[in-house]
Structure 1
Amino acid sequence: MVIAYYLSQVINIYSWILIIYILMSWVPSVQDSSIGRLFANVCEPFLSPFRRIIPPIGGVIDISPIIAFFVLRLATRGIYYLAYLFA
């Protein structure tokens, strides 16, 4: 159960990193900074499969992070379910 807790905390931290990255995308000067590139290196590998499945609406509005957050929450629930199942 302890491993499940730590894994869920890692997913929670990653979710906050994604939120910060999404907010940074609204400010191009921050996105082009070294911090912005670091966040892009961490977040883009996870977001890119969702962007291939769900293209931006009108070429402008990207809803793929919503699906990414859904997958992260689903993973958290799955981790706790497996921990409960094997405990």
Structure 2
Amino acid sequence: MKEFWVYTLLRLGLFFGSGAIVFGIWFLITGDVPLIWVIVIAFAVSGVASYFLLERQREKLAEKVQGRAAKAAEKFEQQRAKEDAD
């Protein structure tokens, strides 16, 4: 669960950081900032940045999810085998 929150908070940080930078640049250039475009551009920039910058955290999260899925599948198979034996 820790890996999920770390990755999520880092993604949110990248999004808001990108949004602040886009807002600041747009404001300096034009003075009039359309908020919807700032959100769209920040979303795209943070998505690309997270692909490269958060690879290690994404791998940790994937390993954790894969481990939990394997445990759940094993438990399911044990329950199914137990039902077949009854």
TM-score calculated relative to the size of structure 2? 0.40
TM-score calculated relative to the size of structure 1? 0.40
Structure whose CA Rg is larger: 2
